[in-house]
């Protein structure tokens, strides 16, 4: 692989340090955003490497029709926008930057939990519109409430630690969570069936895989406490959007905070109704959108490309 990385296309907005680091190691870089599928395929006839964020869909067709392509890098964690099976069939290496944006995603999750408890976005909007609704936007303390973290990987663990500082009891489910790690972090390791009836807040931090698709659904929501809050800063589809909307409408679920959606940007009428619901706080996939995270993932992906091309690092981008 060391001599095959001729040139690289960056097809989504990635921090400029990525391009700089590649150029500094004499790897030719082309930056072109918002390419249609046909434009992407045409452009990739000239490149061996491709760096994306989440907008570019690297489909089976792209792999099949771009014989020069040797390596695809995702400046981020999830590789949902890359057809991994097609990549494997074609022998294309897929790289990502797990961990580079974990703190940012964690901090957004904690922000959303606090915002749900105190109706912050709704109260801000109301005041901006000229109302003084102190009673309507009274909230709840987080201290003493129970937070369930489903998925205790990089982000879930950081969320657990921070919300403990608010005085929350943290309970967790993850098939890979050992009792030893749970004890170290100070969370209670429980089964999902134990979690549903006791959680005041449920936050999901799993990948979207067949086992987690619609993990939060009509059946599991019905098992939850009256007044439960749901948070999803992981992936759209882990929470069944229609089931969540129905349980918000019935009042069984007190609120939800969503950063990710089944379709992004959302066009489906159910998702749009969910976003518009007064008890929903919705953000446009901002989990990783901080200067620090974007610089980190851009640098990490560039360094992996440099390493693959057989060139040793000449300098490291500073700052984060
Ligand atoms: P991770 O791989 O470190 O952790 C995921 C955890 O989920 C693992 O510990 C795994 O054992 C667990 N898991 C797998 N199946 C499970 C199941 N059925 N039930 C419970 N747990 C299960 O991942 P991470 O870096 O913490 O990322 C978590 C999610 O957040 C991913 O979906 C990632 O794509 C997403 N993410 C979103 C943003 C954003 O911008 N909103 C930013 C970064 C990451
Ligand atoms: C990720 O998987 O890294 C996040 O969803 C953030 C992003 O899309 O960049």
Ligand 1 neighbourhood includes 283 CB (under 6 angstroms): no
Give the residue ranges of the chain where pLDDT is below 50: 1-3, 317-320
User: According to the model, what pLDDT value does residue 310 have?
Assistant: 80
Q: How far is the CA of 77 from the centre of ligand 2 (A)?
A: 5
Residue appearing with tokens 């972090």: 185
- The pLDDT tens digits of the residues spanning 80-95 come to 999 999 999 999 999 9
User: According to the model, what pLDDT value does residue 4 have?
Assistant: 57
Ligand 2 neighbourhood includes 54 CB (under 6 angstroms): yes
Q: How far is the CA of 43 from the centre of ligand 1 (A)?
A: 33
User: According to the model, what pLDDT value does residue 3 have?
Assistant: 47
Best substitution site from 77, 104, 236, 289 to test ligand 2's pocket, by max atoms within 8 Å of Cβ?
Answer: 77
- The pLDDT tens digits of the residues spanning 56-115 come to 999 999 999 999 999 999 999 999 999 999 999 999 999 999 999 999 999 999 999 999
User: According to the model, what pLDDT value does residue 5 have?
Assistant: 79
Ligand 1 neighbourhood includes 269 CB (under 6 angstroms): no
Residue 19, classed as helix, strand or coil, is: helix
**Cβ atoms of residues 209 and 199 within 8 Å:** no
CA of 97, closest atom in ligand 2: 3
CA of 75, closest atom in ligand 2: 9
Ligand 2 neighbourhood includes 288 CB (under 6 angstroms): yes
Best substitution site from 153, 154, 203, 220 to test ligand 1's pocket, by max atoms within 8 Å of Cβ?
Answer: 153
User: According to the model, what pLDDT value does residue 314 have?
Assistant: 58
Q: How far is the CA of 120 from the centre of ligand 2 (A)?
A: 25
Best substitution site from 159, 234, 235, 286 to test ligand 1's pocket, by max atoms within 8 Å of Cβ?
Answer: 234
Taking the chain, what is the end-to-end CA distance rounded to the nearest angstrom? Answer: 30
User: According to the model, what pLDDT value does residue 90 have?
Assistant: 97
Ligand 1 neighbourhood includes 53 CB (under 6 angstroms): no
For the whole model, what pTM was predicted?
0.95
Q: How far is the CA of 209 from the centre of ligand 1 (A)?
A: 10
| Nearby residues of 10 by Cβ (< 8 Å), 6 or more positions away | 18, 19, 29, 30, 31, 32, 50, 51, 52
CA of 288, closest atom in ligand 2: 6
Residues involved in catalysis: 235, 264, 285
User: According to the model, what pLDDT value does residue 198 have?
Assistant: 98
Q: How far is the CA of 219 from the centre of ligand 2 (A)?
A: 29
User: According to the model, what pLDDT value does residue 320 have?
Assistant: 40
Give the pairing type, strands 71-74 and 253-258: unpaired
Give me the DSSP letters along 106-172. Answer: HHHHHHHHHHHHHTHHHHHHHHHTT---TTTT-----TT-EEEEE--SHHHHHHHHHHHTTT-EEEE
Q: How far is the CA of 78 from the centre of ligand 2 (A)?
A: 6
């Amino acid at each position: 692989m060391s001599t095959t990385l001729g040139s690289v296309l960056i097809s989504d907005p990635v921090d400029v340090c990525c391009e700089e680091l590649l150029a500094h190691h004499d790897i030719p870089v082309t930056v072109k955003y918002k390419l249609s599928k046909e434009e992407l395929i045409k452009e990739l006839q000239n490149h061996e490497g491709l760096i994306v964020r989440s907008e570019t869909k690297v489909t089976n067709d792209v792999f099949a029709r771009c014989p020069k392509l040797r390596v695809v890098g995702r400046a981020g964690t999830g590789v949902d926008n890359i057809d991994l099976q097609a990549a494997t069939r074609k022998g294309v290496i897929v790289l990502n930057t797990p961990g580079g944006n974990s703190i940012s995603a964690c901090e957004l999750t904690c922000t959303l939990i606090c915002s749900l408890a105190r109706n912050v976005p709704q109260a801000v909007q109301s005041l901006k519109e000229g109302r003084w609704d102190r009673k309507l936007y009274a909230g709840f303390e987080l201290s003493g409430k129970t937070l369930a973290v489903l998925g205790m990987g990089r982000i879930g663990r950081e969320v657990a630690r921070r919300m403990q500082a608010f005085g929350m009891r943290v309970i967790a489910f993850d098939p890979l969570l050992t009792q030893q790690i749970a004890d170290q972090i100070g969370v209670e390791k429980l089964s999902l069936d134990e979690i549903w009836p006791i959680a005041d807040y449920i936050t999901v931090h799993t990948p979207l895989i067949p086992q987690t698709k619609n993990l939060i659904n009509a059946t599991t929501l019905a098992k939850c406490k009256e007044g439960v809050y749901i948070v999803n800063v992981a992936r759209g589809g882990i929470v069944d959007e229609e089931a969540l909307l129905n349980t918000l409408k019935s009042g069984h679920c007190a609120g939800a905070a969503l950063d990710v959606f089944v379709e992004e940007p959302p066009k489906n009428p159910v998702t749009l109704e969910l976003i518009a619901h007064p008890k929903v706080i919705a953000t446009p996939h901002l989990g990783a959108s901080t200067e620090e995270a974007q610089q980190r993932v851009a640098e990490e992906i560039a360094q992996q490309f440099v390493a693959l091309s057989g060139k040793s690092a000449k300098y490291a981008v500073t700052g984060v």
